[in-house]
Structure 1
Amino acid sequence: MGRKIKNFLDEEGLEGYVFLQTCNRAEAYFLSDTLSSSVPEKAIERSGEDALSHLLKVASGADSLIVGETEILHQLREAYNEFNGSHGFSSDLEEIFDWALKFGKKVRRETDISSGKTSVVSIGLDHIQEILENLDKKKAVVIGAGKIGAKAARYLKDTGVQGVLVANRTYENAVELAEEINGESYRFSKLPELIRHVEIIVCATGAPHYTLSKDKIPVLEKNKVLLDLSVPRNVHPEVIEMDKIEYISYEELTEKARENLVDRSGEVKKVKRMIRDEVEAFLSEDPLEDLYKKAGRIRRKQLEKAMKELKKRDEGEVLRDFSRSLTDKVLSAVKHEMKSREENWEND
């Protein structure tokens, strides 16, 4: 769908737009009075108030598969930054996206739509921290260097554990992940020895059989916390029942994630009311307030330009050019606004 939308934008000759593509959405935002061709098949066309409301739903996370996720706001900002400044990008579209991004922050600040973690990896590692308290003197072994194992290893590094050891059947993958997190890599055959020297065991393999069986566990002198992120379960029941193993199951983590999602879903109604009020206020905005925002955007752009020029030219000369350019552009915006309103009055 993303390619079809991009082709549509090219066919329409649209240059000033924002194109957002993530793993589960492809969207284009642009300003146009008319379209010469139909939108791609299966694409949803929105305009006016409906389009503004949808943009705010996206920015707030209310339209995400994982309600309230924060990554979408970052992706929306990246898409905006990529296309802002391109040929044909209008100040009106810039204003709309500045407004939407600010709303995304406001929603997360004033509601609980993003509260409670929904990632089983982060929930699991929070659970480990509750059990062991301080992790700065603890070591962990991550079994598996795939997507989940890599995510767990990065989380562990960020929590400040003393060391992260990575064991994997394909040794090259263990080396690659260990280098990324400044950890240590080992062959799978070294697992019993590694388990003896760590406090945390993370099983993140995806094999169709048990990868962590009792014969892989040495005689334990101290308690170990075993976080099982494997799907299907790769930890043998005999290991789970061992006296010095405190086991955290994947099912337990997914249940907690579901609970947090239910809590977030209850906030969606509140967010939808905020969206309705925000769009209504945006469309009925005072003309002077609109002019003030335009002046603010002009000031920011001219200041950014002047800051760059200061590295190459005389300070006094740059400041004179900055003040002259700022005055000219602000007065031009005021003149344009007055002319536009005069034409509207005549037409009425």
Structure 2
Amino acid sequence: MNFSICGINFKTSQLPLREKVSFSPGQLATALKIINHEVPNAEAMLLSTCNRTELYLATENIVENHDQMVELLGKTAGVPLNKDDSEHFYFKTGIKAAKHLISVAASLDSMVVGETEILGQVKQAYAAASKAQPGCKFIHRLMNQINRTAKRIHTETDISRGRVSVSSIAVEFARKIFDHLENKTAMIVGAGETSELTMKSLVSKGIKNVIVCNRSPEKGKTLAEHYGGEAIDYDQLDEHLPIVDIVVSSTSAPHCVIKAESIRRAITLRHERPMLLIDIAVPRDIEEEADSLEDVYLYDIDDLQKVATENLKRRKKSVDDAWGIIEEELPAIADAMNS
């Protein structure tokens, strides 16, 4: 089968464009249905994280090109993409596409090299593809090899030793803004995996007062109780902002959940005490106008890239070792693609 990938990530574009073609986990089934309608008899897998959106496509006869796949992604997301937008998308075919997928699954193409969350996200994308397309034999064979190679990289190299994640980098921002975290209050908006990892990092660095705000009260309560925090509903978010020093938001909402006006009111009541806002979501959760407010420090996912670049420099040898393992596994991957 012909295998190709078209995508956009933090290296090729800024956050506003990535937001246009992002998909929440709950949107994947519908997105795959649209893709299968547009390209009949194809096997598709869609990966969408805070740092990338990538469409993987296996077809019998049709070899999709760059422009066609960009158009397909735009149609799937329900947004028009112009020629300038298209230039930010990359396109690979055959073994190069498979090699790219391995680099993604093994975190070699991540903002934070060595993080392990991306492998779980790739597996979730595969699970969604398998559920939507029960007969996707090509993707099944390929993913078996991808998982095997990623596992080798994480076990045979030091790439994950002393690793950091997007969530731990977010906590480092907090330590730069505040001299001491012990007497600060943090609010986590969204109770997903990234939020929980951020919660864990905050507590490990001394935060004792934690509030969890989540659309699902039950899930928010479970996370809050685990770390000795308080759970609140979304409609209580604004009234709690004045007592919060740190807000970490990572929801899958398609729109902003924290308005600049809400932050302005909170800052007024805080009497010039600084507030740190860390927006890990794509699309963004916090209105960017909040960044212009006095005593407000707003960072989004692109701002975390600067810290991640230093992380990559420290892991150069492990990265080289990982690429060596990929080269060793390429013949088996090619066999899986051609069988």
**TM-score using structure 2 length:** 0.50
The structure with the largest helix share of the pair is 1
Give the number of the structure with larger relative contact order, counting CA–CA contacts within 8 Å between residues 6 or more apart. 2
Structure number with greater Rg is 1
**TM-score using structure 1 length:** 0.49
